[in-house]
Amino acid sequence: MSRTSLMPPPLPAAQASAWPELLRRRRMYGGILLVLFVVLMSSGFQLAQSRNAGGFWDGLPMIFAFPGEVLAEAWEKRARLPGLALAHLASLAETLNIAAVATLIGALAGGLLALLSTRGLARWPKAAGLFRRLTDLARAFPEIVIALILIYILGGGPVPAVVAIALHTAGALGKLFAEVAENADLKPHEGLTAVGASWVQRIWLGVLPQVAPNWLSYTLMRFEINLRASAILGFVGAGGIGYDLKIAMQWGQGRYDLVVAIFALLFLSIVLIDRLSDRLRLRLVKG
């Protein structure tokens, strides 16, 4: 009885002769890309260093000076931290509301944009490219840029933050939702089309049951991101706990205990929401 060899079959002569040349090209291209990366990094660092008010290497030893000062003062007043944290629960609730409303609006808009721009599912196939560009445009500008423009127009408060985060969320989730919808099985959609169902009925009955777990998972993940974004937007006057943190840091020495209390409150809430959303996403995706 002959023994079967576990070794792969030898390459044909033509492929074997071309392999060293292919390997040499790959190494050459890899080396060129590495050199370009190093040049771009060094030139970018030099440009940033020349435009910086201070020297990077001169200020590097002081990187832990300010955090050390903040933590030292907070440790001396550590008995006040729980009370300060409880006093800012209302601001945290405002930040959570901003993130939740913006995520809901952005997810609904992103889902609609995804369905209108997905091949084979679009209500108006010729306009699918237009809706894709709208999705790209919505996520092209950072939330803080949109918020600054809206604050200038509408004034400070949570409304500019909600609109800014919702616009960016619609663009980001629209892209992710479209990729999920493109992988959906079109047979239920085609069957509903054959029996005369409307576009809304085809989407509601033939597509959404397939994509809903992944869509909900992406929405929960985006809620975590939007919570951090809503806290950051507070620094530019959009309300919430980020605005309280900005004021506390502006007060400077003597109120660093308040800074640490707000940071701790925000950190614990983000960790809690992250853990809860992880569990929900796992149940949604895997059952």
Close Cβ partners of 274 (under 8 Å, ≥ 6 residues apart): 224
Co-location of 27 and 128 in the same domain: no
Q: CA dist 275 to 62, 199, 272, 281, Å?
A: 34, 37, 5, 10
Co-location of 46 and 81 in the same domain: no
Please state, rounded to an integer, the average pLDDT across all residues of the chain. 83
Co-location of 173 and 270 in the same domain: yes
**Comparing C-alpha atoms, which of 127, 132, 125, 126 is closest to residue 179?**
132
Dihedrals φ, ψ of 262, to 5°?
-65, -40
Confidence label for 66 from pLDDT (cuts 50, 70 and 90): confident
C-alpha of 96 from chain center: 17
Q: Which domain covers residue 26, as residue numbers?
A: 20-50
Would 108 be classed as within a structural domain?
yes
Confidence label for 1 from pLDDT (cuts 50, 70 and 90): very low
**Cβ(96)–Cβ(269) under 8 Å?**
yes
Co-location of 141 and 219 in the same domain: yes
Would 15 be classed as within a structural domain?
no
Co-location of 120 and 41 in the same domain: no
CA angle (182 as vertex; 181, 183 as ends), nearest 5: 90
Distance from C-alpha of 234 to C-alpha of 229, rounded to nearest angstrom = 9
Domain end (from 50, 68, 92): 50
220 has pLDDT over 90: no
Would 13 be classed as within a structural domain?
no
Co-location of 244 and 195 in the same domain: yes
CB neighbour class for 251 (10 Å; exposed up to 12, middle 13-18, buried from 19): exposed
Distance from C-alpha of 201 to C-alpha of 284, rounded to nearest angstrom = 23
AA letter at 185? D
- Residue at token pair 């990729």: 179
Distance from C-alpha of 202 to C-alpha of 218, rounded to nearest angstrom = 23
- Give the H/E segment covering residue 253: none
User: What is the mean pLDDT of the segment spanning 56-71?
Assistant: 76
What token pair was written down for 201?
A: 């009925």
Distance from C-alpha of 74 to C-alpha of 218, rounded to nearest angstrom = 37
pTM of the model: 0.76
Co-location of 43 and 150 in the same domain: no
Would 176 be classed as within a structural domain?
yes
pLDDT of residue 110: 93
CB atoms within 10 A of CB 37: 10
Co-location of 181 and 240 in the same domain: yes
pLDDT of residue 11: 53
Distance from C-alpha of 111 to C-alpha of 207, rounded to nearest angstrom = 12
Q: In total, how many domains does the chain have?
A: 2
pLDDT digits (tens, 9 = 90+) for 105-123: 999 999 999 999 888 888 8
Would 91 be classed as within a structural domain?
yes
Co-location of 93 and 192 in the same domain: yes
DSSP 2: P
Co-location of 26 and 89 in the same domain: no
Would 67 be classed as within a structural domain?
no
Would 200 be classed as within a structural domain?
yes
Look up the CATH number of the domain holding residue 191.
1.10.3720.10
Distance from C-alpha of 61 to C-alpha of 234, rounded to nearest angstrom = 30
Would 61 be classed as within a structural domain?
no
Co-location of 160 and 256 in the same domain: yes
Co-location of 33 and 104 in the same domain: no
User: What is the mean pLDDT of the segment spanning 81-87?
Assistant: 85
**Comparing C-alpha atoms, which of 242, 234, 119, 112 is closest to residue 169?**
112
